[in-house]
Amino acid sequence: MAEGSGGAARRKKPVQRLQSANHSPEEAEPERDRGEAEFRCHRLQESLLSSASGFSNYRGVLNWCVIMLVLGNARLFLENIIKYGILVDPIQVVSLFLKDPYSWPSLILILGSNIFILGSLHLERRLASGAFPERVGLVLYAVLLPAILCIPVLVVFTVLSITPVGSVVALMVYTILFLKLFSYKDVNRWSRERRRAQVRALSRTQSAPVMRKVAGDVGKQEVMYPGNLTHRDIYYFILAPTLCYEMNFPRSPRIRKRFLLRRLLEMLFIMQLLVGLIQQWMVPAIQNSMKPFRDMDYSRIVERLLKLAVPNHLIWLIFFYWFFHSSMNFVAELMRFGDREFYRDWWNSETVTYFWQNWNIPVHKWCIRHFYKPMMRRGVPRWAAQTAVFCASAFFHEYLVSIPLKMFRLWAFMGMMSQLPLAWFVGRFLRGNYGNAAVWISLMIGQPIAVLMYVHDYYILNYGIGA
């Protein structure tokens, strides 16, 4: 028995040692896993720069691009100053607006636009009261709206003291006024049609007092047609940062003074920056591009074009921020205008169509509401309606360039119309990052081409071949 007990004791000792070393079977598994991990160091995975990896954090690469962009442009800017000296002259900007210091044709032309504003208001009042039938209103608007675009043209070509820059500002004001009054006309016409439909429907079941309530309920806080036909209402719309009219715009609760001050300081600083960049960087680059154009030296033309692309694109981006963010937010805050969607993420555009739909939201909304959808309701094919929208945009681009320069070359018109085949090509053959790169390249290269073509033709027309 002693041997049996001793043998049993000997048999139990290894078990005790095993338990003392591992305590439990579950705790033995991590040791075994760690041992296998030491032998295995590979797994199925993609490289980070591969699209299949799903990796998207390129913040360091973006910082590197920004630093390289700053350093590269700093070198170009320093080279420009060494070569040309300081060309920035704020006083010279005044001469772009005034040839004769006692003549203000652009300002007088802008002030004269009030005639069209008041004319549209009083015409709508006559239509609302029934003094004018709808056909008469259409005829009068057929005269009023084209006159908004034609009268500035006559002034530009007859008044010699008006400058090209002053003409551009005046024509921009009249173009915006044309689009706004077109929207004002449509919305009031829709309101009259809806009011007549409501009156006809209610006249079958309601009495006359209810009909008067439909015509205009003064007890409600919201404005109803024709209560909107006031000077205060139309001038609020004319000054508001939108092209589409509504009787009750969304309003912000208050004016944020700090926000307003930040936007004002941005406007002032960026305006000075734009003037300095144009004078110091753009003007010399354009002047140096004239000789290759005259000599038809194609290699030098391409070199000048690429050299002009950088400052031109940088100025365009800064102008976008100044106009669509700083200036329009400043006006919206001052007027407590609630809708601040002036642009969307156009920089992520993977198609040309997406860019034009998102970089200028006020114009896009106007085109959809007053141009594209009415054509679609009349049965116009989708492709024809889209082409018509591009044609209208091309017309206004050419209008704002050719008229101030007093020459017709159609470079802006053809540049806009070329967006149609480009949109088809990018949408059909390019996707994702390739499509986005194609959009950026079209912006960087297309604009300098148009600038050089217009400046070249302007120099030849006004200063001769040897200029």
Q: What is the pLDDT of residue 206?
A: 58
Predicted local distance difference test score (pLDDT) of residue 215: 41
Q: Is the pLDDT of residue 15 over 60?
A: no
Average pLDDT of 215-228? Answer: 67
Q: Is 50 exceeded by the pLDDT of residue 23?
A: no
| Pair 234, 333 in one domain | no
pLDDT for position 105:
85
pLDDT tens column, 403-455: 988 888 888 888 888 888 998 898 888 888 889 999 998 888 887 788 777 87
Active site residue 397: yes
Whole-number Å distance between alpha carbons of 205 and 63:
70
Same domain for 210 and 157? yes
Catalytic residue, chosen from 42, 313, 364, 397, is 397
pLDDT at 171: 94
Give a yes or no: residue 397 inside a domain.
yes
Q: Which pLDDT value is given to residue 36?
A: 63
pLDDT band at 76 (very low <50, low <70, confident <90, very high): confident
Looking at per-residue confidence, does 361 or 305 come out higher?
361
- Sign of torsion, CA 341 342 347 353? positive
Q: Which of 294, 315, 342 is the last residue of a domain?
A: 342
Query: What pLDDT band is residue 19 in, cutting at 50, 70 and 90?
Result: very low
Judge whether residue 456 has pLDDT over 50: yes
Do 435 and 373 belong to one domain?
A: yes
Whether residues 392 and 458 share a domain: the answer is yes
Q: How confident is the model at residue 116 (pLDDT cuts 50, 70, 90)?
A: very high
The answer to the question of residue 113 being in a domain is yes
* 191 and 227 together in one domain: yes
Q: What is the pLDDT of residue 94?
A: 64
Q: What pLDDT sits at residue 97?
A: 61
pLDDT category of residue 65 using cuts at 50, 70 and 90: confident
Indicate the number of domains in the chain: 3
Quote the pLDDT of residue 20. 44
With bands split at pLDDT 50, 70 and 90, how would you rate the model's confidence at 8? very low
- What are the tens digits of pLDDT across the range 129-160? 989 999 999 999 999 999 999 999 999 999 88
Give the model's pLDDT for residue 172: 95
Q: How much is the pLDDT for 281? A: 81
Structural domain harbouring 185: 100-249
Q: Are residues 273 and 228 in the same domain?
A: no
Cis preceding linkage at 226, omega within 30: yes
**Among 303, 326, 342, where does a domain finish?**
342
**Which pLDDT does position 34 carry in this prediction?**
58
Q: Judge whether 124 lies within some domain.
A: yes
pLDDT above 60: residue 31: no
Same domain? 426 vs 357:
yes
In a domain, 226, yes or no: yes
Backbone phi, psi, residue 251, to 5°: -120, 140
370 and 466, same domain (yes or no): yes
For residue 210, what pLDDT is reported? 43
- Of 315, 342, 369, the residue at which a domain comes to its end is 342
Q: pLDDT higher for 346 or 218?
A: 346
Residue 80 within a domain: no
- In single-letter form, the type of residue at position 230 comes to T
Higher pLDDT pick, 174 / 304: 174
**Are residues 226 and 199 part of one domain?**
yes
* Residue 464, pLDDT above cutoff 70: no
Residue 192 lies in a domain: yes
pLDDT higher than 90, residue 304 = no
Q: What is the dihedral of CA 46, 52, 56, 57, to 10 degrees?
A: 10
Q: What is the spatial distance between Cα 441 and Cα 449, in angstroms, rounded to a whole number?
A: 12
- Indicate whether 195 belongs to any domain: yes
The pLDDT value recorded for residue 362 is 94
Question: Residues 215, 241, 327, CA angle at the centre, nearest 5°?
Answer: 160
* 3-state secondary structure at position 250: coil
* 320 and 452 part of one domain: no
pLDDT of residue 201: 81
Establish if 86 belongs to a structural domain: no
Which tokens go with 430? Answer: 């390019």
Within this chain, do residues 322 and 365 fall inside the same structural domain, yes or no? no
Do the Cβ atoms of 403 and 151 come closer than 8 Å?
A: no
CA gap 330, 336 in Å, rounded: 10
Higher pLDDT, 224 or 18: 224
234 and 264 fall within a common domain: no
What is the spatial distance between Cα 38 and Cα 41, in angstroms, rounded to a whole number? 7
Of residues 390 and 309, more confidence is placed in 390
Q: Taking 90 as the threshold, does the pLDDT of residue 331 lie above it?
A: yes
In this structure, how many other beta carbons lie within 10 angstroms of the beta carbon of residue 403?
20
Q: Of 54 and 107, which is predicted with more confidence?
A: 107
